Amino acid sequence: MTRVLVLNGPNLRRLGTREPEVYGADTFEDLSALCRETGRRLDLQVEVRQTDDEAEMIRWVHQAADERLPVVLNPAAFTHYSYALRDALAQRTAPLVEVHISNPAAREEFRHTSVVAGVATGTIAGFGLMSYVLALQAVAELVAEGRAAG
């Protein structure tokens, strides 16, 4: 069974209360349960994490690179400015799918640029929590194809 890290950046633990008109009413616990259940169906061992700390996120990305673990990443606000995170992600050794609950391109202009997208295998955005399901399906397919860093 392939282990996958689902990493979430700042404020995502506040799902359900933070801007529900943008992010929906589901909680971070709902998201975590959905990812774990999706992983079980896809024969993936999913570990869901969230941090508001950029350094901690970078440590997790380094761990994923060292252990050759696929990553589903919602960098949240780090998406738009964290070159340190981008540089860590560039060291990846397995598929990396950037994911967003909302569609950043349909929001404020400062959200239109992702410094992460250029080092990701692909990006899925705008489908609510279903974005994570689609990202995990992509990871499962990439792993089955044997695409290490995709």
Positions marked active-site: 23, 100
Q: Are the beta carbons of 99 and 72 closer than 8 angstroms?
A: yes
Q: Residues annotated as binding site for substrate?
A: 74, 80, 87, 101-102, 111
Q: Residues annotated as binding site?
A: 74, 80, 87, 101-102, 111
> How far apart, in whole angstroms, are the C-alpha atoms of residue 105 and residue 109?
8
> How far apart, in whole angstroms, are the C-alpha atoms of residue 21 and residue 102?
10
> How far apart, in whole angstroms, are the C-alpha atoms of residue 82 and residue 54?
8
